Amino acid sequence: MTTFSNPLLFSQHFKIDPKNLADAGLIDPFLTVDTQLFVDPILLGKSEHRLIREDGYRSFCAHFQRVIRLLAMCKREGDPAWKAAQQQMSLREAPANGLGYGTSDRPGNSRPNELRDVILRTAKEIVELGTQDPEMISLMGFFEENVGPDTISDLTSRVIQPQLARLTNEFCDPLGIPLKVSDATPDIALPHYTNAGGKERALVLVPSDIVRELPVARSWDDIEAAIDANALIRQRVNALLASIAQPTVADRKEALRSAAMQSKDVFEAFIAAVKESATYYDPNIDALGYYRIKEILQGDLNLFRSDQKYDVSKGVNEIKKVVLDTIERFAHHIEKGNLWEALWIGDKPKKERAAQLIYFAMSDCFCEANDIDISPEANMGGGPIDFKYSKGYHARVLVEMKRSMGQVVHGYNRQLEIYKNASGTDHGFFVILDYGGLGNKLENIQQTRRERLARGEPASEIVVIDASKKASASKRE
């Protein structure tokens, strides 16, 4: 489980205006956790940064063309050409770009050699179709269940590391950000960050127009969007899935794999469709709320000051008071202000993670502004986020947040209880973001709460926040 507390942005650590990064088209990364975005190689050639669009894209193509040539020469696994291709396909995590799953406080991890060989086998099949487009590498996540976009991102980032390092150096040097060379970057001086454990890491910045949202592995939405542009592949996928009542993501990936690999022409049409539809993570839409939470963290802490006094050394009830106040402040800005706008894309609610991250940022600022000696800790893995507030070993309070159209009953009856048991606490808040469609779910969990209390058992508190679309605050006055 990857946890996130005390968020620290690059701009905060090096005391620069975040607008400088935005104007330069660079991501302002967290230094204490990875941002769940990934570098998409298909976007390299579209970047506004000439260094990436030209040099970076050429480096990427040249690198994977070497892999493709070796696979074309390969007669069997284990022969010299295969071994040479293996050496070219390093899956060691790209250091210090602040993207992907998990915390950036750990060094790059080597992924299993089996995963590397899975990618090579699929690439070999594609080469045997007659296709030699190096951007085939970007499609491996569509075809192989265990190849996630973070793997492709790291592959790409390692190949274009010299360009990312140069871009970082050229941005930082005029601003007076301290730079130095190290073992990680012996040729180009880069900024470095030393974490709480005393480990120093070199940092590289990434252009905002070459990254996309890092999808949760269970999602099929991105794959459907990619095949919609090609009727032949769509029809073939539907035909292959017709006999399966409830196809899993693995079933769908296998169907897509079979459909796209019918022939060289079909596969190249699929690559073309993906290239055409690929777009970067749009800060105006901000589907995951990353830009919104950065605005909150960079904002005026005076907005979060409270007249209340908190002494969390008194125990769990005082912590619960803090947590409830953070939830109520979050609810106020959604129900009475314009924060609800950050939870919608047009007429569609954003993913659960967007609201969860915005709540995390607001609660962290609240604790800092009021000098409260606890910091919210978020589980930042690939799935749902849960929050823990703790003081010492025993005084712990959890917060679980669900959308009204999601698994509200399961979340309250089972999921939050599992988290509480794992954390060794009886205290929790279950927050429902009501976008509509709540139905009888609320009554169901309220009944569960009443029954637990009647038996003398601990029962998590329930809070409902109206997250529906509203008129602007000025029009409601």
The strand pair at 37-39 and 200-202 is best described as unpaired
Q: What are the domain boundaries of the chain?
A: 3-215, 290-476
Of 285, 283, 226, 279, which is closest to residue 42 (Cα–Cα)? Answer: 279
pLDDT at residue number 253? 80
pLDDT at residue number 104? 40
HSE-CB at 208 with a 13 A cutoff on CA atoms is 16
First to last CA, the chain: 44
pTM of the model: 0.84
pLDDT at residue number 103? 47
Contact between residue 4 and residue 33 where contact means Cβ atoms under 8 Å apart:
yes
Mean pLDDT per segment of 10 residues, for the chain of length 477 residues? 72 95 95 85 94 96 94 94 91 69 47 84 92 87 78 89 95 97 86 88 94 64 64 82 83 84 86 82 88 90 90 89 94 94 92 89 91 75 69 82 93 88 88 93 95 93 95 58
- Residues forming beta bridges with residue 207, ordered by sequence position: 26
pLDDT at residue number 94? 56
Q: Could you identify the residue written with the tokens 């080469």?
A: 127
pLDDT at residue number 139? 83
pLDDT, tens digit, for every residue of 365-422?
A: 999 999 887 777 776 554 556 788 888 767 889 899 999 999 999 999 988 888 888 7
pLDDT at residue number 1? 42
pLDDT at residue number 176? 97
pLDDT at residue number 418? 84
Q: Distance from CA of residue 156 to its chain's centroid? A: 17
pLDDT at residue number 387? 84
- Collapsing DSSP to helix, strand or coil, 95 comes out as coil
The tokens for 5 are 């507390």
Sign of CA pseudo-dihedral 254, 259, 263, 266: negative
- CB neighbours of 423 closer than 8 A, spacing ≥ 6? 388, 396, 398
pLDDT at residue number 60? 95
pLDDT, tens digit, for every residue of 51-92?
A: 999 999 999 999 999 999 999 999 999 999 999 999 998 776
φ, ψ for residue 71, nearest 5 deg? -65, -35
